[in-house]
Structure 1
Amino acid sequence: MRRDFADFWNLLWEAALLVCAAFALLNAYAPPQDLPWKPLDLDRPIGRATATKVAAFDLPRAATPEQVAAPTEACMRLLREAGVQVERAPDRDDGGFCQVRGAVRIVGGATPLAPAGVVMQCPLALRYVLWDRQVLQPAARDVLGSPVARVENFGTYSCRRIYGSTDTGDRPSEHARANALDVAAVTLADGRRVSVKADWAGQGPAGAEGGRFLKRVGQGGCRLFSNVLTPEYNAAHADHLHLDAAPRGVCG
């Protein structure tokens, strides 16, 4: 019986050594963006663990001021370490579900938004910078042969329910928390403009490449944003891409 017990512990010890060796190899050679215990790096490609790492900065809907401060500071610090100029914006409370907490404004180090100065929750800013660096700009260079100079948008904050509904049974929009960005068009460095409304179908001024580019950046956004709503989702999104960071969502 003692022999069986000793053999059992030897087996456990060998198994533990194998697990440790496997972990060491994984930690040393696997891409950091695929490993949840590695810190988030905004300059690395989007990996299997990237969305989970970003979600760690998300604030609870009913977060207290104390619960907001530390994650927002950490989020801003990460942005600054990645070369993004970001400033804290005043939080906002318009009553009911229209409350913006952990608000920031990107002022440099990322593709400019136009109009400028839009306020968003800090984790949405992380997602925007990742989308900009790892999806938007590579797609523009690959498909259109020119980088994006600015991203035209319809804003982030709007105190309303989804689709502007007045039905109290409909859920609040993520725009009511500045947790969504509506992208209408991009202007390229060479002066061309690609518009969701005109070019999504690939038959507008930007041609087939414009439609291919817009679909690629929308699909790429699904790896970072909870909801990516496009003209194919419904008529309300015929002229923009809706990108948000809701707790759950769909890629449309």
Structure 2
Amino acid sequence: MDRDLADFWNLLWELALGVAAGFFLLNAFAPPQDLPWKPLDLEAPIGRATAAKVSDFELARTAAAEEVTAVTDACMAMLREAGVEVERAPDRDDGGFCIVRGAVRITGGDVTPLAPGGLVMQCPLAMRYVIWDRQVLRPAAQETYGADVARVDNYGSYSCRRIYGSERISDRPSEHARANALDVAGVTLEDGRRVSLAADWDGDGPAGREGSVFLRRLSRGACQVFSTVLGPDYNAAHEDHLHFDGAPRSLCS
């Protein structure tokens, strides 16, 4: 009996040592963007843990004012460290579910401009946009067209409404109602060429087959960092744009 107990503790000790050694090797050699305990780095490639790390900056709807300020300040500090110019946007309450707290505006810096600009968006959504811009959009534009991106054409972020603009009370509020969504209509390149969802998604527009491949690459890449990505293949409501948001649920279509 005593020997069996000793063997049991020896086995536990060996397992503990094995786990510790495995953690040490993982911590030392795995890409930091794949490890949830490593800090978020907006300059790093998108990893397995990137989206979850961004989610750490999400605010609960019931968060106290002090928490809203502290978390948003930390989020803005990270954006600024990455070379993005950002400012806090005023909170707003348009009644019902249309409440925006802890939102920001990207005003410049190392980020592709949004057109129109001055959008109000949740700070984690701004983080997601910066990551997508650097790790998906810019490389795709260079590899496809050999050109830099001049701007991302969009249909806005904040909109006080339910999903699809529905007036049915049974339909849930849109993430746009809390400035946690961005609708991308297309991309304009530095050389003046434009690739749009409305014209080029299916490859039959001015950008040809190349434009369709490019846009679908942007959509797939967005699924790595945004929690929801919807486009023309999802339904008619998204036939002319890609919808990106940071909702708690996950859907990529």
TM range, normalised to the smaller chain?
over 0.9
2:128 is paired with a residue whose SS is: helix
Q: Deviations over 1:122-172 (max 9, x none)?
A: 000010001101111111111222121110111100111111111111111
1:247 is paired with a residue whose SS is: coil
User: Percent identical across equivalent pairs?
Assistant: 71
Question: Is 1:182 equivalent to 2:183 in the alignment?
Answer: yes
2 CA distance for matches of 1:163 and 1:80?
A: 34
Instruction: State the AA in 2 paired with 1:85.
Output: E
Instruction: State the AA in 2 paired with 1:213.
Output: F
1:100 deviation in Å? 0.6
Q: What residue number does 1:19 align with?
A: 19
Q: What residue number does 1:138 align with?
A: 139
2 CA distance for matches of 1:64 and 1:99?
A: 14
TM-score by length of 2: 0.96
1 CA distance for matches of 2:141 and 2:51?
A: 22
Q: What residue number does 2:88 align with?
A: 88
Instruction: State the AA in 1 paired with 2:37.
Output: W
Instruction: State the AA in 2 paired with 1:92.
Output: R
Q: What residue number does 1:215 align with?
A: 216
1 CA distance for matches of 2:27 and 2:240?
A: 44
1:9 deviation in Å? 2.4
Aligned positions of 1:51-66 closer than 5 A: 51-66=51-66
1 CA distance for matches of 2:168 and 2:17?
A: 60
Instruction: State the AA in 1 paired with 2:249.
Output: R
Q: What residue number does 1:100 align with?
A: 100
Aligned positions of 1:1-252 closer than 5 A: 1-108=1-108, 109-252=110-253
Q: Deviations over 1:32-79 (max 9, x none)?
A: 111000011111111111111111111112323123112111111111
2 CA distance for matches of 1:227 and 1:175?
A: 12
2 CA distance for matches of 1:8 and 1:150?
A: 63
- Say whether the 8 Å CA contact 1:54–1:126 is kept in structure 2: yes
1:248 is paired with a residue whose SS is: coil
1:244 deviation in Å? 0.7
1:157 is paired with a residue whose SS is: coil
1:249 deviation in Å? 3.4
1:184 is paired with a residue whose SS is: strand
1:2 deviation in Å? 3.4
Instruction: State the AA in 1 paired with 2:243.
Output: H
1:248 deviation in Å? 0.5
Instruction: State the AA in 1 paired with 2:215.
Output: L
Further displaced range: 86-95 or 60-69: 60-69
TM-score by length of 1: 0.96
Superposed CA RMSD:
1.2
Instruction: State the AA in 1 paired with 2:35.
Output: L
- Say whether the 8 Å CA contact 1:144–1:213 is kept in structure 2: no
Q: Deviations over 1:200-232 (max 9, x none)?
A: 111111111111000010111111112111011
Instruction: State the AA in 2 paired with 1:54.
Output: V
2:251 is paired with a residue whose SS is: coil
Structure 1 unpaired stretches of 5+:
none
2:159 is paired with a residue whose SS is: coil
2 CA distance for matches of 1:114 and 1:180?
A: 15
2 CA distance for matches of 1:4 and 1:229?
A: 58
2 CA distance for matches of 1:30 and 1:86?
A: 31
How many aligned residue pairs are there? 252
Structure 2 unpaired stretches of 5+:
none
